[in-house]
Amino acid sequence: MRSIALTNQKGGVAKTTTTVNLGACLAQMGKKVLLVDLDPQGNLSSWLGLDIHNLERSMYNVFLEEVYFEEILTKTCVENMTLAPSNVALAGVERILAHEKGRDLILRKRMSAVVNNYDYIMLDCPPSLGLITINALTFVKEVFIPLETKVLALNGLVTLMNTVQVVKERLNHSLEVTGIVACRFDGRTNLSNEVFNQIKERFKDKVFDTIIKENTRLAECPISGKPITLYAPDSSGAVDYTNLAKEVIEREDRMKETRK
């Protein structure tokens, strides 16, 4: 099992787009995938067709220990891919738990029973480094950082790396940033190339070779209720995310080889 938080405190960098589409590609390759929506915006849940204004149970109830994690899971249109949904109620969790002892460990505690049921557990984090993101970082072993290659991103990335380091030291020794995904890449601009080269120079092998290009099909995709591989299978977005999933698996095979 691999547990991965998709995190970047900057908004709109393709965290949700990457969670849905990478998750779906892995599931379509036969892996058992669980997606966890940790954003009160509920973008991941509505992308996968849920009416987020009328959720009976969601991650909110899990955080407040009102239900078991398994009880909120729903199937998705992709075989092998399950979703733990969220909606705006989740925004209340930060305030309600603000002074609770052990508040950083809730997710780890609540999800421990299901970790062995999946090959990949992917958590779509909100655009902040608050309590919910810290809970995600305390639970997972890995962090993937999607970043938009249309703006210079190095400063925000350093802040994020520092947060990961602090959580690693204090709460979760096994935490590592294992993947940086260059998203919304526009090859016609010098800026995209420059950002990619800068990131590559600074973070080397952590950066995936696969680049997710700017693609209008990906921008339209959320209202279809499906991942890009079902909505527009021939689009560059579908090809890019399929290649990313292959690279994720290849790197894993390589890691296993070196450990032998």
Residues that bind ligand ATP (CB under 6 A): 11-17, 39, 41, 43, 127, 183-184, 212, 214-215, 218-219, 237
Instruction: Name which of ligand ATP, Mg ion, none residue 12 binds, using a CB cut-off of 5 to 8 Å depending on partner kind.
Output: ligand ATP
Rounded to the nearest whole angstrom, what is the least distance from the CB of residue 234 to ligand ATP in the complex?
15
Count of helix runs (H) and strand runs (E) in the chain: 11, 7
Among 8, 18, 43, 215, contact with Mg ion (rule: CB under 5 A): 43
Distance CA 145, CA 133 (A): 13
Distance CA 195, CA 190 (A): 9
Which of the 8 DSSP states describes residue 107?
A: H
As a 3-state breakdown, the chain gives helix, strand, coil percent values, each rounded to 5, of 50, 15, 35
Nearer to ligand ATP, 17 or 86 (CB): 17
Nearer to ligand ATP, 65 or 209 (CB): 209
SS3 label, residue 74: strand
Nearer to Mg ion, 13 or 34 (CB): 13
Q: What residue spans of the chain are helical by DSSP H?
A: 15-28, 43-47, 59-63, 91-96, 106-111, 131-139, 154-170, 190-203, 216-220, 228-231, 236-259
Distance CA 104, CA 196 (A): 33
Instruction: Name which of ligand ATP, Mg ion, none residue 215 binds, using a CB cut-off of 5 to 8 Å depending on partner kind.
Output: ligand ATP
Rounded to the nearest whole angstrom, what is the least distance from the CB of residue 107 to ligand ATP in the complex?
18
Instruction: Name which of Mg ion, ligand ATP, none residue 104 binds, using a CB cut-off of 5 to 8 Å depending on partner kind.
Output: none
If one asks whether residue 16 binds Mg ion (CB under 5 A), the answer comes out as: yes
Distance CA 83, CA 208 (A): 25
Nearer to ligand ATP, 220 or 252 (CB): 220
Nearer to ligand ATP, 114 or 163 (CB): 163
Nearer to ligand ATP, 65 or 186 (CB): 186
Instruction: Name which of ligand ATP, Mg ion, none residue 164 binds, using a CB cut-off of 5 to 8 Å depending on partner kind.
Output: none
Rounded to the nearest whole angstrom, what is the least distance from the CB of residue 27 to ligand ATP in the complex?
18
Distance CA 37, CA 121 (A): 11
